[in-house]
Structure 1
């Protein structure tokens, strides 16, 4: 009776090829079960990868926008916190200055001057704060602190106003120092004249967080605080009317700064709301895209687990057969 057979070497080759195929299939199925996605995307999509490419591009863009929105949130939250701190200082100093009006030249005035010096230092420190690893108020120079040390600023300002014959001249000198081309602009401010570019946070939205430390709002705030702080140097000692006139001007400046800070915090608050909504929307869109992606190339976990079990049975059967064949010997049957 005719029959066909293969030699030992060929049998080994066939066995190895079957082992490689089953092992590879088991590895592929394990990956699909772990990731939930088919490894052979081309087969799953019948060779049409265009829609998957477009989908993954959208997912990548959304991931970048989500990251940018979260960074913008940190930056905006830090900005709001610093503006709030500065406004608290302005309001507290303004209140103390008003209450001191009946005690110029006494202990009450000294307490107000000390409070102004502390407020100036803390305000400068707040303006030099960072958020998301960047300085908040330096314009495009986010790696550079916007202002010099508070003591250095006050020292230069004290020298600039020294010798003013009266309160009017003193106040004019302070205005000039913080005005265009003054010492604050040319020496104290170390950021750029360019605002920070608006931050894109979604497909069609951006937020502007470009407030700089050399803005009119911050100049007026520092000027109002500095007028009182500079009285510690003995300016107009023996001239209580002049000192009171300086404090009165400072009170007016602090009220204006308070109103300006309220408006700016409102702007930042609106930006925070926009960012929060963008973060939520980006997350929803990402979820929708992920679900669409899974519907195209997702691997059914039950089906995959069943195929793994079947492949394991086949592989074990192959191992069993290989072991049995290896023990066959003609001498055992003679």
Structure 2
């Protein structure tokens, strides 16, 4: 009988200890968050409104992640376009001096500079953020173009038969612009239709409407290509023909610079929409937090007092249990 009584006493003691721990944990959570741990008890079972607020908060937090991703992509795209524009503007200033140059070595220097910018521009268009390519349209897992040096080498090989500046300009225009031509079929590897889109909310979507095969970017690459191949050793054009190509490259870069500015302005509108959606989402979350607090908020001072009381009870319980354990051991040894 005594053994059964000891077991019952132990079970009651364990249950009381668990209850005290649970009370301390709930009180600590309530004191920290300012919200009732047991919502159903606090609301008398009427938890529908609180559950709806929780679901809205989860959905808005998902939107927040989409907004952050869209902001990252928009910022990266703007940065890349800015880099391309800065480099092409620098070339444009140098090309403006072509009419004053007479030596082939000067033309060669300008042509080499254009080659470097061409390669860097192509590689910039191949940039990816968080595993997604920015200028491939919907096919974000595929790089839109080969390496910049490879593209220039392929172009150089395909126009090798040109014997004058006009022939070379025509060949380059065809290479880039012909429907089903080399650029569309062999160079550009992204999606032919559609653009990358990211949801921002139930009603708003950010669309990134610039692919590497867009006319604006093609025209930029085309202008750079003409300047890059102007003084190419394999073509062996006369200095006067090289000057024509450099002047044409200068003229086309000025035109493409305006188009790039327009594209960046459009992207700026997208950035503004993303930011406005971010602010609205943060405002909605703040309002939901306020509504939740009005429903299941508690007095944190009272919760802290309950936590202290539960802690004191636990300490008393442990001291009593320790004394009983020592007493039992002494009786056993006798």
User: TM-score scaled to structure 1, two decimals?
Assistant: 0.86
Compare 163-172 and 70-79 and name the one that shifted more: 163-172
Whole-angstrom distance in 2 between the partners of 1:50 and 1:226: 65
User: Which structure is larger by alpha-carbon Rg, 1 or 2?
Assistant: 1
Q: 1:236 to 1:49 in 2, by over 3 A?
A: same
CA contact 1:79–1:131 (8 Å) conserved in 2 = no
Q: 2:138 aligns with which of 137, 140, 145?
A: 140
**Partner residue of 2:302?**
303
Whole-angstrom distance in 1 between the partners of 2:11 and 2:125: 75
**Partner residue of 1:3?**
none
Alignment of 1:64-79 (within 5 A): 64-79=62-77
CA contact 2:223–2:249 (8 Å) conserved in 1 = yes
Whole-angstrom distance in 2 between the partners of 1:65 and 1:168: 54
- Whether 1:114 and 2:109 are equivalent positions in the alignment is no
Alignment of 1:217-232 (within 5 A): 217-232=216-231
Whole-angstrom distance in 1 between the partners of 2:36 and 2:121: 57
Alignment of 1:80-95 (within 5 A): 80-95=78-93
Whole-angstrom distance in 2 between the partners of 1:15 and 1:234: 94
Q: Mark the runs of 5 or more structure 2 residues left unpaired by the alignment.
A: 329-334
Following superposition, the deviation at residue 16 of structure 1 comes to 5.1
In structure 2, the residue corresponding to 1:299 is in which secondary structure? Answer: coil
Q: CA RMSD in A?
A: 2.6
- Whether 1:246 and 2:245 are equivalent positions in the alignment is yes
**Partner residue of 1:287?**
286
User: TM-score scaled to structure 2, two decimals?
Assistant: 0.86
Whole-angstrom distance in 2 between the partners of 1:196 and 1:31: 47
Whole-angstrom distance in 2 between the partners of 1:228 and 1:99: 14
Following superposition, the deviation at residue 105 of structure 1 comes to 4.1
Whole-angstrom distance in 2 between the partners of 1:84 and 1:76: 12
**Partner residue of 1:331?**
none
Q: 1:219 to 1:307 in 2, by over 3 A?
A: same
Following superposition, the deviation at residue 295 of structure 1 comes to 2.2
CA contact 2:27–2:306 (8 Å) conserved in 1 = yes
Whole-angstrom distance in 2 between the partners of 1:119 and 1:55: 53
The CA deviation string for residues 85-107 of structure 1, in whole angstroms up to 9 with x for no partner, is 11112111122112022214433
CA contact 1:76–1:268 (8 Å) conserved in 2 = yes
Q: 1:151 aligns with which of 149, 152, 160?
A: 149
Whole-angstrom distance in 2 between the partners of 1:235 and 1:101: 24
Q: Matched residue pairs, number?
A: 322
